[in-house]
Amino acid sequence: MSRQVIEGRYFVEAPQGAAGRRLPLVIDAPHSGHVFPPDFDTIAPTSAILACGDAYVDELWSLATHHGATLVAALFPRAYIDPNRAEHDIDPEMLASLWPHDARPQAYSERGVGLLHRFAAPNVPLYDRRLSVAEVERRIHDYYRPYRQALRDALDAAWHRHGVVWHLDCHSMCSLGGALDPDAGMSRADVLISDGDGTTADPAFSRWVIAEFTRLGYRVAHNTPYRGGDLVRHFGRPAERRHSVQIELNRALYLNESRGEKHDGFSALQSKLGQFAAALAAYAEQHSEEV
């Protein structure tokens, strides 16, 4: 396995097999990490912290590296700092003193799930204190920015080699909308494809992704209830042939949601994602060329 682990903070896995065939495909899993940084001074139970992440999503998508894709995944939990938020999405009320940098809280921070999370789960606070400016700066410098830079490097390398890149930002979602979600209490599709309402990827590519998951037997939703987080909005520039889509997998497909443990559906889903990755590789070969 050609996996490079960077200081225990994230890993980059290069394409495997077929002579290391490297296609303009990049997959990232920003919320699957479960390695607690030594300065994560939280009062929340570990089970709640892990439940607010995307357990095993990096593992589910690992077969894509056998089809020419590069995989980038965080090792730290999203509750520590969230790589899928804008750096300025900071709630000043979480800090012990005035934030000396750009702070423009967005709707995520208002819900307690911005760059810094207030809660590990509803009514389960992460901290019994306010965070210092120095520790937040350290999280940004040591974890947030390096992860984003690694993803940027992978995307740029693919784009410079082929003149195009397709990026899948991979997540999981609860089978029912949560209390703070726009679809509270509602059952969700098996797979959700988000592209910022057609702004982060060529709509033709999004349609292809939807059709492929449908062909594999899944119920697919598009831009509802989520339209895509900061990563696809930041890196997706379809006019430059940089296409980013966010993919959410319904956790009930592979997890016992109450215990956070894999069930028998895990291997079946992983196999189907491998089939999807093979089809995606064929799509990429058809629509790109070495430059």
Closest CA to 112 of 84, 90, 144, 137: 90
Task: Say what the pLDDT of residue 177 is.
Answer: 86
Task: Say what the pLDDT of residue 17 is.
Answer: 62
Q: Is the pLDDT of residue 82 over 60?
A: yes
Task: Say what the pLDDT of residue 110 is.
Answer: 85
- The arithmetic mean of pLDDT across residues 41-57, rounded, is 94
Please give the distance of CA 95 from its chain centroid, rounded to a whole number.
26
Please state the pTM of the whole predicted model.
0.95
Summarize pLDDT for 116-174 with one digit per residue, the tens.
999 998 889 999 999 999 999 999 999 999 999 999 999 999 999 999 999 999 999 99
- The arithmetic mean of pLDDT across residues 52-76, rounded, is 96
- CATH fold group of domain 3-287: Aminopeptidase (3.40.630)
Q: Is the pLDDT of residue 98 over 80?
A: yes
**How confident is residue 291, by pLDDT bands cut at 50, 70 and 90?**
very low
**How confident is residue 18, by pLDDT bands cut at 50, 70 and 90?**
low
Report the percentage of the chain scoring pLDDT > 90: 85
Summarize pLDDT for 189-225 with one digit per residue, the tens.
999 999 999 999 999 999 999 999 999 999 999 999 9
Sign of CA dihedral 169, 258, 59, 125: positive
Q: Is the pLDDT of residue 281 over 70?
A: yes
* Spatial distance between the Cα atoms of 84 and 78, rounded to a whole number of angstroms: 9
Closest CA to 288 of 227, 224, 241, 232: 241
Q: Where are the chain's structural domains?
A: 3-287
